[in-house]
Structure 1
Amino acid sequence: MNNSQAFLAALRAALPPSSVLSETEDTRPYECDGLSAYRQLPMAVALPADEAQVLAVLKVCREFNVPIVPRGAGTGLSGGAMPIENGVVLSTARMNQVVRMDAYARTAVVQPGVRNLAISEEAAQHGLYYAPDPSSQIACTIGGNVAENSGGVHCLKYGLTVHNVLRVRMVTMEGDVVELGSEALDAPGLDLLAAFVGSEGMLGIVTEVTVKLVPKPATARVIMASFNEIGAACGAVAAVIAAGIIPAGMEMMDRTSSRMVEPFVHAGYDTGAAAILLCEADGTPEEVEEEIARMTAVLQGAGASAVQVSGSEAERLKFWSGRKNAFPAAGRISPDYYCMDGTIPRKQLARVLLGIEQMEARYGLRCANVFHAGDGNLHPLILFDANKPDELQRAEAFGAEILALCVEVGGTITGEHGVGIEKIDSMCAQFTDAELAAFSAVKRAFDPLSLLNPNKAIPTLNRCAEFGKMHVRAGRLPFAGLPRF
């Protein structure tokens, strides 16, 4: 019996028979996440049903020195859940129970495999809901949301995952069960919860999450504003925020996006406009009426060529349907698309969008821009055909240049999609050698064996030197011996 056979035998002994997959036809669905350009079959897939079984998987992997890639629903877009050769994918799909819902404290305790939207569906009976709403909310799970610090169209007013999670129960690679945060207003010790949320499965395996719930607004209405120039639309975003208004959601779509989406969902978008803004107000009827009037005045003053306000809940949902379905709509006009994710200061929106337009001509590829305008979180969709020679490589180079521009204007290389394998070289463009060394030190503190999602998110300093983004002095690279993560 070779080592892999011995490992699989030990893993099957630790879990129920149906909880270990190792045949190619069974592991094939796990070969990638939403970044399907990169694929790798794992040695096995483990499907634990509770925390005790998670601990059992980790114990076997420690004994055989086998790396683990945690996986939620696999909707991530940065390759964070792509398997590692001769490694195990640990899926939390079977840990899908709502443990407890407290309408008085406005909290829900859920297992990591609970779908994002399912939390709101369960809380609806209490007049509550869970605010972060990524486009994949019908499928993505709360464990994956914690790993990537997911946002959504309403993150401007209600915050990202990190702002809506009170407590995480997780297990370390060494088999310790740790609770980060608290259901109270504060927790003793270091604020490790904030470090853990967004750590992309590199620090521990989530087994339980306590989230905040918020009251469902009495009413909500959305403005759809058209602009004849991208610059005017970008100026309107800044003007709304400068007026002291924080919309429940504030999204922008350029002409390419609206023309891509409109035949798909028939949302009533102005496909002749250079850009459209969707600005939502929620709250009491009186609050909404006042905020809609204020936003309308600001948008018109900023140069909106047309302003339309939803007159019913059905129309509000119709306006949002195009934004929510932008990614699948891309499949109607392009065989493949590459969804980027970067964040910039709002005042730099026009500069970056015009820069992307120039890149389109240089790379010979179209790009549809649809994004969270209110907090400057861009999601350029680079359209390409992987069947054509070098188009994927051009798309990747296009995306890397967009991220470099984001950093140049004072932004970051990601907002909510994470780094994974997709942006690992771009990390070298943003962070110094000392900063990368600090990231690696945090990783080692949680996972000294480097078995949790290794070779993701944090580049080695040697890699950065090879990438050409780090200055090497006298032929020597500081910290070159750091472990590979």
Structure 2
Amino acid sequence: MQQTEQGPIIRQRQRELVQALHQVLPKHSILYHEEDTRPYECDGLTAYRQLPMVVCLPEDEAQVQAVLRICSRLQIPIVPRGAGTGLSGGATPIADGLVLSTAKLNRIVRIDALARTARVQPGVRNLAISEAVAGHGLYYAPDPSSQIACTIGGNVAENSGGVHCLKYGLTVHNVLRVRVVLMDGEVVELGSDALDAPGLELLSVFVGSEGMLGIVTEVTVKLVPKPQVAKVIMASFNDVVTGGNAVAEVIAAGIIPAGLEMMDKTSSRMVEPFVHAGYDTDAEAILLCESDGTAAEVEEEIARMTAVLQQAGASAIAVSQSEAERLRFWSGRKNAFPAAGRISPDYYCMDGTIPRKRLAEVLTGIAVMEQKYGLRCANVFHAGDGNLHPLIMFDANQEGEFLRAEAFGAEILELCVAVGGTITGEHGVGIEKINSMCVQFTQTELNAFFAVKKAFDTAGLLNPDKAIPTLHRCAEYGRMHVRNGQLKFPDLPRF
């Protein structure tokens, strides 16, 4: 529904919805004037913007239930929103819909240091959990780059990872239980504080569902002991192919580092003036390899990784000599996205995952695409689990550059699928990658996704038109990729 064409209809629906919301929410929790809703027009994918009809900020679970019941009765679509740091447009509003923000559900309900768990509301920031339990010698392991701002509810929706996900896992591996309000207002609990839960295992179905199945009101997360010691190796390489192969060599040696990240020269050079991390800006690629544990464990693992990296062709190796230096090494990687603004007016951050052994091949393919599209690309990624984050740089003020950046990104994702990978690792599908879903999944698989969606949300009101493409959409997108009667990648399914 376009606001320009359906303005009177939307205004009427807005009045009806606001009137109903005033019966269940305080006045300050309902926003519907343009100047109040403008901050909610997009998430981290700022290229796509849409003013929502209404924004509400419930303050407890009962208010969430009431809002969902009203929207169910009035058939108003709902877009759940956490901190808005998502990069795939998952929180992009709908013109005739409501944005439900969980920002005010921000209490840490309970910390159980003996059980090593924390029960928190969805609006609690990722980093705030670790800060709250630091006195117990514990922390929450998943650490996306936006951890200072992103919230645990959004982490659950996107199945967020971070630089330490190789050893400690993604959100799905660190969440024990979620409390969820369904579209009809019913409250259900998925998972358990115990080692097992009765019934179907639906927790892993819900984590990563991008707000399409229900609204999270409480999450129980695992906590892990803070390591006694942690050190980082910074290894330099004279070309990205050698660096990519070194990643596979580390894993093949039976070593699972706490973190294993890679940055190319473009990334290092854009980050170094920003944070002064001490990076080797002459290297074509650098690897950051972290070891944590007891002092003896770390010394042994650092020595083993150093030997593997030297054998794999590292041109230089430096090991952090203090906690301050370790944090400085990581600060460059975690600030890669904002640092891109130093060298480009705009950037488009992609997210795909590939088998580690194909890393060098994909990096070479991206370099070829840079020439094809006439755009620079900085490569930063969670190399240990093959999760790529190419940063395509462009100038939105130059006609056609954003469209070229989009096409560049779509081709990167197609290459990821072609080498046996997937179109996302931790950013989600949202609206950004919905066409790319057609490249990866068959009609039967897409029907199965819709069946799961329908089982939770029969009317299809929760975050509609996100993540799962219709078969009609796939047919149209498929035609875009037929060349002379042949698919670009003949081994991919034809729709």
Per the normalisation by structure 1, the TM-score is 0.96
AA at the equivalent of 2:227: P
Indicate which of 55, 74, 77 corresponds to 1:64. 74
AA at the equivalent of 1:374: G
Query: In structure 1, what is the equivalent of residue 465 of structure 2?
Result: 455
Indicate which of 419, 422, 426 corresponds to 1:409. 419
Is 1:381 aligned to 2:391, yes or no? yes
Could you report, residue by residue, the CA deviation over 1:69-119 in whole angstroms, capped at 9, with x for unpaired residues? 000000000000000011000000000000000000000000000000000
Alignment partners' CA distance in 2, 1:357 and 1:195: 36
Matches within 5 A, 1:192-203: 192-203=202-213
Give the Å deviation of 1:471: 12
Give the Å deviation of 1:3: 3.4
Matches within 5 A, 1:251-330: 251-330=261-340
AA at the equivalent of 1:151: G
Counterparts in 2 of 1:273 and 1:471: CA distance versus 1, 3 Å: closer
SS in 1 for 2:342: coil
Paired residues of 1:419 and 1:456 also in contact (CA < 8 A): yes
Alignment partners' CA distance in 2, 1:131 and 1:394: 37
Alignment partners' CA distance in 2, 1:470 and 1:362: 18
AA at the equivalent of 1:361: Q
AA at the equivalent of 1:254: D
Give the Å deviation of 1:53: 0.4
Query: In structure 2, what is the equivalent of residue 476 of structure 1?
Result: none
Is 1:335 aligned to 2:345, yes or no? yes
Query: In structure 2, what is the equivalent of residue 477 of structure 1?
Result: none
Is 1:250 aligned to 2:260, yes or no? yes
Paired residues of 2:125 and 2:152 also in contact (CA < 8 A): yes
Could you report, residue by residue, the CA deviation over 1:138-184 in whole angstroms, capped at 9, with x for unpaired residues? 00000000000000000000000000000000010011100000000
Per the normalisation by structure 2, the TM-score is 0.94
Superposed structure 1 runs of 4+ greater than 3 Å apart: 469-472
SS in 2 for 1:415: coil
Query: In structure 2, what is the equivalent of residue 183 of structure 1?
Result: 193
Structure 2: stretches of 5+ with no match in the other structure: 1-10, 483-495
Alignment partners' CA distance in 1, 2:455 and 2:330: 43
Alignment partners' CA distance in 2, 1:262 and 1:2: 53
The count of residues paired between Structure 1 and Structure 2 equals 472
Query: In structure 2, what is the equivalent of residue 143 of structure 1?
Result: 153
Alignment partners' CA distance in 1, 2:12 and 2:289: 60
Matches within 5 A, 1:201-240: 201-240=211-250
Structure 1: stretches of 5+ with no match in the other structure: 473-485
Query: In structure 1, what is the equivalent of residue 26 of structure 2?
Result: 16
SS in 1 for 2:379: strand
Matches within 5 A, 1:386-405: 386-405=396-415
AA at the equivalent of 2:20: A
Alignment partners' CA distance in 2, 1:156 and 1:393: 34
Is 1:174 aligned to 2:155, yes or no? no
Alignment partners' CA distance in 2, 1:231 and 1:42: 45
Indicate which of 68, 89, 95 corresponds to 1:85. 95
Is 1:361 aligned to 2:366, yes or no? no
Give the Å deviation of 1:4: 2.6
Alignment partners' CA distance in 2, 1:225 and 1:3: 58
Alignment partners' CA distance in 2, 1:325 and 1:6: 44
Give the Å deviation of 1:7: 1.6
Indicate which of 92, 111, 130 corresponds to 1:120. 130
Query: In structure 2, what is the equivalent of residue 44 of structure 1?
Result: 54
Counterparts in 2 of 1:456 and 1:79: CA distance versus 1, 3 Å: same
Alignment partners' CA distance in 2, 1:338 and 1:322: 19
Alignment partners' CA distance in 2, 1:7 and 1:305: 63
Paired residues of 1:220 and 1:288 also in contact (CA < 8 A): yes
Paired residues of 1:225 and 1:277 also in contact (CA < 8 A): yes
Query: In structure 2, what is the equivalent of residue 479 of structure 1?
Result: none
Alignment partners' CA distance in 2, 1:106 and 1:41: 42
Alignment partners' CA distance in 2, 1:451 and 1:23: 23
AA at the equivalent of 1:13: Q
Give the Å deviation of 1:380: 0.1
Give the Å deviation of 1:469: 6.2
User: Identity of counterpart residues, as a percentage?
Assistant: 78
Give the Å deviation of 1:256: 0.5
SS in 2 for 1:188: coil
